[in-house]
Structure 1
């Protein structure tokens, strides 16, 4: 049931932030705590909504293609390898990503300008991820409708946020976690950055897998290659010219 792992991401950070906030030995700045709790709820609702929308409002009906490929590669050994590669590793990542919740509820320091910066980063990350995922969902839906009527699909999504970044949804998710880590760093818990760093490295690997998969699809190879040459990989940025001096015709 590795397809259920995505749902853990929507609830565990939420449970942890409330655990630390309600712990009898905890101490914190009330406003910082409440802002972080509110933002964590927004993040969780966004992620949950995107999960169920992507799965056509079903619970665990479809397995992530990456896990399917891994299960085929490992065959009969997948039952125990999945414990380490899926469950244990992601639980460890979730715990380290949630360390800023512990920091925020372990010290009572006045608010500062850095808290405002962290709030802006977290809020921006949630909004960027929401709009990027919505644009991706609409793109996939349109392509499915084109397939249904026997028309060719659009090979690359290069509109909206995807015009400026090949993976704006990943960028938004990273902004959220780095903003959260900034809250902790600001009050003297810089070591909690380890979670955000680990998540960035993980998303770098996932990005590589996604792009390799796109390039393996013959109806997308040419268009996606051009898209790679002209579009920033994560951070939204202006289009660049490809080596031939011609701007991507899909832009």
Structure 2
């Protein structure tokens, strides 16, 4: 019990652990009350930014009285010993800027898909609910959907913590910071493109299939084209069209709608380009402190060589990205099993032709 008390009061992750516990309890209780387990999904876009901001904005939380009230950010004793909590870390601030940009992209995509609605639930949870006994589904809800996902989101703040430890007071970024930062922005742009293409396709598909029952195929296609054009987000000064989204031709046709899933644009090169970009982004976030100056952590490595210590330090910093990739691989496999059940022949052919990521 003493170790738990220390973890939540004086360890370097005291406040993030408090907030994670609160979020876990709140999302689980909300899921039980509403019978909707997508509560964590709605917070996914915000929590990594919150944890990153806690470390990046550390000078704001320093106060002589410690933590006046639970959940109020503060600088615990261990963190005061490990860092210069009164000085700003340029690397941590860079991470905060990039992750905030990531948050806006994901929030916009979540919003336009309607997933912020309290009545919406990820279709995969509905499928899983039908496959499991009610008691077992609630066990999964508590242990994985609420607890594990919240802990995973907490780990995504770890790169900012490492950046804070590396702060040497010079106030400078190094070349790897800038290189990976620009790379990460490019990844976000590609991910936005993939999301946009998928949204345009889904708009086209549903509009065409709904109207094909009441109108001729040319009329249904014209209506679907109009709706998908309106749903597209184009580059500045470019006119969006159903066949050109961010410069990548989709040329959607009735056969695309009948197929049921998108195979054009970025989706012709990867079955899940958005998931590939999402993982890539967080690997880059971990590499920024992992390959930056002063990247070796304060590890108890007296029996290791300096090179082994540096390698161990880098691997430790990559843990959040590794955990996220494990989640994406497992959840994508489940998603594809559902898709293959709906479109057995077509999706199997798609899997043979196009890689997963």
TM-score, normalised by the number of residues in structure 1? 0.84
1:197 pairs with 2:322? yes
Q: CA–CA distance in 1 between the matches of 2:157 and 2:93?
A: 16
- Equivalent residue of 2:38, what SS? helix
| Aligned residue in 2 for 1:82 | 141
| Aligned residue in 2 for 1:233 | 356
Q: CA–CA distance in 2 between the matches of 1:95 and 1:9?
A: 10
1:182 pairs with 2:293? no
Q: Which runs of 5+ in 1 are unaligned?
A: 235-251
Higher relative contact order (CA 8 A, sep 6+): 1
User: What are the superposed Cα offsets for residues 47-99 of structure 1, whole Å, 9 maximum, x if unpaired?
Assistant: 1111111117x522211122222323131443343110201110111122221
Bigger mean CA deviation after superposition, 10-19 or 168-177: 10-19
| Aligned residue in 2 for 1:14 | 49
1:105 pairs with 2:164? yes
| Conserved? CA contact 1:125–1:171, under 8 Å | no
| Aligned residue in 2 for 1:237 | none
Q: Which runs of 5+ in 2 are unaligned?
A: 1-30, 32-36, 63-79, 214-253, 297-312
Q: CA–CA distance in 2 between the matches of 1:180 and 1:207?
A: 22
1:122 pairs with 2:247? no
| Conserved? CA contact 2:56–2:164, under 8 Å | yes
Q: CA–CA distance in 2 between the matches of 1:221 and 1:80?
A: 31
Displacement of 1:232 after TM fit?
Answer: 2.0
| Aligned residue in 1 for 2:113 | 54
Of the candidates 139, 150, 157, which is equivalent to residue 262 of structure 2? 157
Displacement of 1:197 after TM fit?
Answer: 0.5
Q: CA–CA distance in 1 between the matches of 2:331 and 2:183?
A: 22
Larger radius of gyration: 2
- Equivalent residue of 1:124, what SS? helix
Quickly say closer, same or farther: Cα 1:71–1:226, change in 2 above 3 A: closer
User: What are the superposed Cα offsets for residues 134-164 of structure 1, whole Å, 9 maximum, x if unpaired?
Assistant: 1111111111101211366341312111111
Bigger mean CA deviation after superposition, 104-113 or 45-54: 104-113
Q: CA–CA distance in 1 between the matches of 2:274 and 2:281?
A: 11
